[in-house]
Structure 1
């Protein structure tokens, strides 16, 4: 199929792009990697009258770990570049687990982290990573900027806190803590498909080997990435034994409300989420111990 007619404008700078968005509002969409937007336009599920191409804004791409404020990733950074950045993957090991699950290499060559997060597909991996890692979204418009924590950025199915004149320009992640282990796992019908359920887990141990902090977010089981960290409260202050982790996984199963789909019922998704939670927490604990 072909998209509905639209006007194409290549932005010459960030200020130019933001002024165009302020001018055209809801009628305009930013074109970054285009891996979600262009198929939606071809099926006429999205009908922007104006496309603002921001691919030339090189300042919005790249990883900065020199500011002393954690890790900052430009919104136009492509998955391919993150996959090949060993320093970034060392600092953000959840990405090392998750990136190979995202679609296929051809799509990862073009797709951008900002485009993915702005699209806010709840079955996608990166929104769950951003929530688990307590990422902060830097949003900018022609009149100013603001930051939103990831858990508040995703508001519904394909819906974010972005205002009509704003762009997501950067994502900030906290610096990794000592004695912390992470793990991302998912189950999909085929390699590269969206996940039936996926789990991003982060465990930090204290000096005695007990759990000091636990973070968990899931994809594919709700209309937004699901922050299930509260369900892990039984882990805090405890050694991460098999029994304690099994209890926490059962609490996660209780708190989620998947809707099911053509590939699996809600009960199946809930079961998969519990199994993945137990496995991911176990591996995260092993990695935290190994890295101590």
Structure 2
């Protein structure tokens, strides 16, 4: 199949892109990497009247490491970020997660911003972004606004981004002190979407857990923090975190997720795997944090 007819726009500035988008927001889509959008257009899962290709806009392919974290422009490809030595040093969690995103051919064209805006609940980057307290900048004809990761995702493929807004950059907050991390996922084959995955971050202060982040993905309509599980770890000495406590935290995660029951895996399987990955990820994150202390 091929897409339905549309008008193809190639703006030279973000202001032009925002103006075109604002002229007919409900009937327009922005094209960056196109690794999801083009397939959906060809299958006629999505129809548009205006396709706004922002690839000719200069200066949107940057990747910067600053004191507050990693800042990525709207046209920075997955491989741009994955191959950055500065990003690897500053946020190894992000580099590790990117190695699990599809295959190298996809990562050569797909963009970080596009993955977040697509909001596939089984995708890796939304969970990492949420775990790292990220935010993004969206621009429209009316100006710009900042949206935090914990405010962005509504449900599968649905976000709080307005139809007349185009995202110009995304920020991943950096980690400080004795913070350990882990990225875990289960797929049928490397590069497939996750049947279940969990991102964990653990920060130690004076040997005890001062902060914990547990963000499952692929087991619900969007990535979410499981605060009820995180709170069980707060204030506990790292040396006192035993198998029994990890089992309790894992059980809390399994109970909190809401996975689908489909041809790829059953609900029960995904619940079980979410707990197993939580337990495994927390042990690795705690060990990592102890080494950084």
What band does the TM-score fall into relative to the shorter chain?
Answer: over 0.9
Q: CA deviation at 1:49?
A: 1.2
SS at match of 1:59: coil
Mapping 1:235-254, distance limit 5 Å:
235-240=233-238, 241-243=241-243, 244-254=245-255
SS at match of 2:109: coil
Deviations 1:2-61 (A, max 9, x none): 111111111111111011100121111111000000000010001111110001223222
Mapping 1:55-70, distance limit 5 Å:
55-66=55-66, 68-70=67-69
Q: Does 1:157 align with 2:156?
A: yes
Does the 8 Å CA contact 1:259/1:266 hold for their aligned counterparts?
yes
Aligned to 2:230: 232
Aligned to 2:169: 170
Q: CA deviation at 1:239?
A: 2.2
SS at match of 1:107: helix
* Structure-2 change in CA distance of 1:58 and 1:242 (3 Å): farther
Does the 8 Å CA contact 2:65/2:90 hold for their aligned counterparts?
no
Q: Does 1:10 align with 2:10?
A: yes
Aligned to 2:113: 114
- TM (norm. structure 1) is 0.96
Q: Does 1:204 align with 2:223?
A: no
- TM (norm. structure 2) is 0.96
Q: Does 1:36 align with 2:36?
A: yes
Aligned to 1:195: 194
Aligned to 2:48: 48
Distance 1:69 1:237 in 2: 25
Which stretches in structure 1 are left out of the alignment for 5+ residues?
Answer: none
Does the 8 Å CA contact 1:118/1:160 hold for their aligned counterparts?
yes
